[in-house]
Chains A and B, each alone.
Chain A
Amino acid sequence: MTPLTLNQPVINQPTIKKNNIMETNQYFSFPRFGHLMQREFAQNKKVILIIAAVAFLVVGGNALGWAYNREHGYHEFSYGFYLLIGGFILTSMSFTEMNRLDSRLFYLTLPASSLEKFISRWLITGLGFAIFFTIGYWITVIIFKALGGAIFNFDIGDFNPFTEQNILFFRIYLAGQTVFLLGAVYFKKFEIFKTVLSTALIGLSLAVLSAIIFRLAFFDLFDGLLTFRPEMEVNGTMMPVEPSRNYQKFMERNAENYLKTIGLWVIPTVLLIVGYFKLKETEL
């Protein structure tokens, strides 16, 4: 950052020198980031313990209930469900300190860069929570499996975090979490509700816009306003209209990868960048 130039240069020289030296680490410094992470844990110790205890009881209790009904495959849905729901709620609350009027000043004047503040919350509620939850879930299942077997003769099944489905849940969480992180920075109150509502509205708007574009681009394949009839008259005969073979093959091979890349990497990256700038621009 270049120090501002004023018409009256009243700033004393040693200050400028000192600031210029320190300028190199004004965006990210590992020691400062370490202090920030320590602060986050020191300040939220109780909350972390409460969340862990509640998650332990809810996951374990539900597993026992599921086993009581002699149903199988609890972990197939339960791991992903709790990871996504719990993580999204937690992420929505990740900037509560900044969104509450009484603590906002304290947080904004904390001597760490906006990038460090943003990354610390992203890591804690994103990767940190996902790993912590997965390990916690695994330990919970071991404990409740032993308890269920010994006391009630229930088998709640084994949990394997490395199945393809669970890995996909993990990745979906890391991507989806960025939506809620942006919501947490953007909205000052009722962050989770506003995030869900805005995401739904944006999704709906995009769907309507796509439909309108499709309707306009392929207007001659529509019969009436909305009836899509992919047929064209060729030499007096109605022929079906289909995408070319090459296009179909290309899509069969690549569509899933493209969608995954966009959904799991591109959109989350854009959301993180927007979130960082929103935090940087936050005023009291």
Chain B
Amino acid sequence: MIQFQDVNFHYKKRTPLFKELNLDIATGNIYGLLGKNGAGKTSLLKLIGGLLFPKSGVINAMGFNPSERFPAFLSDLFFMPEELHIPAMKVSTFAKVYAPFYPKFSESQFQNYLKDFEIDANHKLNGLSQGQKKKAILSFGLATNSRLLVLDEPTNGLDIPSKSLFRKVIAGAISDDQTCIISTHQVRDMGNLMDPIIILDDGKIVFNDSVEAIAQKLHFEVTYSRGEPTDVLYAERVLGGYMVVKENKFEEETEVDIEIFFNAMMANRAGIQALFQ
């Protein structure tokens, strides 16, 4: 669905952010885009959405060059930024005004998502809390049935029940011909939702693989001690001992903790990458 080929990008008067970046994003998945602050997550999403233009290289999203921002491309893309701009109108009016731009928009789906998120369509968007605004706009975004959904920090501002609801709704809404890319710091909120995982560090894709591949290659367990340094790829103090990441030499697969995996990747990138090559 999306391919980056030798993409170079930098902001004005700044050192390169992406250098010869290559990336392949397939259809039918909910991708988790992880990275530290300033790693380039939002910039990557903006390149996908045609909001930033690469300095060189090729980006192909759904058969389009995103930089052209052709309507056929934009009507198959829904981009929900971290900070939302909300026109001062009712939720229902918003849908009425914007739905004609999305040929696959479904009013009944929109009403169902609003119901799921407990949002009243007669409320004014600018009168809603930040979390409610996100839920209303997400309901609209999902109802557009766009093939590509880009969500930048979608759970920021959501309360705990809403985060759980968010996971449920997204998991149920994304079909096989759609792709959702979720950029987040709040890995725990997304738990089992994101698969595959893309990790971005210093403008490079340091990891792009499925959760299943992680489970096959890595073993996660809580131990009382840190274990032998030669054996352990990463250890982190948790309640009651250490969460240890090792190479999976066992037949059994353990449950993948994405946050621990991300921390392990940041702390011991070479060691973990070696296992995946």
Q: Are A112 and B71 in contact (CB under 8 A)?
A: yes
Instruction: Please tell me if B75 contacts chain A, counting CB pairs below 8 Å.
Output: yes
Question: Hey, which chain B residues are within 8 Å of A4, CB to CB?
Answer: 58-60, 63-65
Instruction: Please tell me if B35 contacts chain A, counting CB pairs below 8 Å.
Output: no
Cross-interface CB contact of B51 among A8, A12, A26, A105, cutoff 8 Å: A105
9 contacts between A and B (CB under 8 A): A4-B64, A10-B1, A23-B70, A26-B71, A32-B71, A102-B84, A111-B101, A113-B71, A283-B51
Closest residue of chain B to A7 (Cβ to Cβ) is B5
Instruction: Please tell me if B113 contacts chain A, counting CB pairs below 8 Å.
Output: no
Instruction: Please tell me if A208 contacts chain B, counting CB pairs below 8 Å.
Output: no
Closest residue of chain A to B78 (Cβ to Cβ) is A109
Cross-interface CB contact of A26 among B5, B72, B89, cutoff 8 Å: B72
Q: How far is the CA of A42 from the CA of B100 in the complex (A)?
A: 13
B28 CB to closest chain A CB, in angstroms?
A: 11
Chain B positions 52-101 with a Cβ under 8 Å from a chain A Cβ: 52-53, 58-60, 62-65, 68-72, 74-75, 77, 79, 81, 83-85, 87-89, 93, 97-98, 100-101
- Among the listed stretches A14-22, A244-252, A259-267, which one makes contact with chain B, having 4 or more residues with CB under 8 Å of it? A14-22
Chain A positions 75-113 with a Cβ under 8 Å from a chain B Cβ: 100, 102-103, 105-106, 108-113
Chain A positions 138-170 with a Cβ under 8 Å from a chain B Cβ: none
Instruction: Please tell me if B3 contacts chain A, counting CB pairs below 8 Å.
Output: yes
Q: How far is the CA of A199 from the CA of B72 in the complex (A)?
A: 37
Q: Are B3 and A46 in contact (CB under 8 A)?
A: no
Q: How far is the CA of A103 from the CA of B81 in the complex (A)?
A: 10
Instruction: Please tell me if A237 contacts chain B, counting CB pairs below 8 Å.
Output: no
How many B residues, CB 8 Å from partner?
Answer: 41
Q: Are A3 and B81 in contact (CB under 8 A)?
A: no
Closest residue of chain B to A281 (Cβ to Cβ) is B53
Q: A11-B60, A19-B63, A46-B88 are known contacts. Are A1 and B53 too (CB-CB below 8 A)? A: no
Q: Are A43 and B63 in contact (CB under 8 A)?
A: no
Question: Hey, which chain B residues are within 8 Å of A112, CB to CB?
Answer: 71, 74, 101
Q: Are B63 and A109 in contact (CB under 8 A)?
A: no
Chain A positions 222-261 with a Cβ under 8 Å from a chain B Cβ: none
Instruction: Please tell me if A62 contacts chain B, counting CB pairs below 8 Å.
Output: no
Instruction: Please tell me if A72 contacts chain B, counting CB pairs below 8 Å.
Output: no
Q: A6-B60, A26-B70, A112-B71 are known contacts. Are A284 and B52 too (CB-CB below 8 A)? A: yes
Chain B positions 25-51 with a Cβ under 8 Å from a chain A Cβ: 26-27, 46, 49-51
Cross-interface CB contact of A3 among B63, B77, B79, cutoff 8 Å: B63
Q: Are B97 and A6 in contact (CB under 8 A)?
A: no
The winner among A100, A105, A112, A280 for most chain B CB atoms within 10 A is: A105
Q: How far is the CA of A204 from the CA of B98 in the complex (A)?
A: 45
Q: How far is the CA of A23 from the CA of B79 in the complex (A)?
A: 22
Q: How far is the CA of A224 from the CA of B250 in the complex (A)?
A: 97
Q: Are B71 and A12 in contact (CB under 8 A)?
A: no
Instruction: Please tell me if B252 contacts chain A, counting CB pairs below 8 Å.
Output: no
Question: Hey, which chain A residues are within 8 Å of B53, CB to CB?
Answer: 281, 283
Cross-interface CB contact of A111 among B46, B58, B71, B83, cutoff 8 Å: B71
A159 CB to closest chain B CB, in angstroms?
A: 35
Closest residue of chain A to B2 (Cβ to Cβ) is A10
Interface residues of B (CB under 8 A from A): 1, 3, 5, 24, 26-27, 46, 49-53, 58-60, 62-65, 68-72, 74-75, 77, 79, 81, 83-85, 87-89, 93, 97-98, 100-102
Question: Hey, which chain A residues are within 8 Å of B88, CB to CB?
Answer: 46
Q: A283-B51, A284-B51 are known contacts. Are A10 and B71 too (CB-CB below 8 A)? A: no
Instruction: Please tell me if A210 contacts chain B, counting CB pairs below 8 Å.
Output: no
Chain A positions 264-284 with a Cβ under 8 Å from a chain B Cβ: 280-281, 283-284
Q: Are B51 and A111 in contact (CB under 8 A)?
A: no
Q: How far is the CA of A69 from the CA of B68 in the complex (A)?
A: 58
Q: How far is the CA of A55 from the CA of B262 in the complex (A)?
A: 59
Q: How far is the CA of A7 from the CA of B69 in the complex (A)?
A: 23
Instruction: Please tell me if A114 contacts chain B, counting CB pairs below 8 Å.
Output: yes
Closest residue of chain B to A114 (Cβ to Cβ) is B69
Instruction: Please tell me if A205 contacts chain B, counting CB pairs below 8 Å.
Output: no
Cross-interface CB contact of B24 among A8, A12, A19, A108, cutoff 8 Å: A8
Q: A8-B3, A42-B97, A105-B51 are known contacts. Are A1 and B64 too (CB-CB below 8 A)? A: yes
Q: Are B101 and A105 in contact (CB under 8 A)?
A: no
Q: Are A42 and B74 in contact (CB under 8 A)?
A: no
Q: Are B71 and A16 in contact (CB under 8 A)?
A: no
Instruction: Please tell me if A198 contacts chain B, counting CB pairs below 8 Å.
Output: no
Question: Hey, which chain A residues are within 8 Å of B50, CB to CB?
Answer: 108-109
Q: Are B49 and A109 in contact (CB under 8 A)?
A: yes
Q: Are A102 and B83 in contact (CB under 8 A)?
A: yes
The winner among A6, A18, A29, A114 for most chain B CB atoms within 10 A is: A6
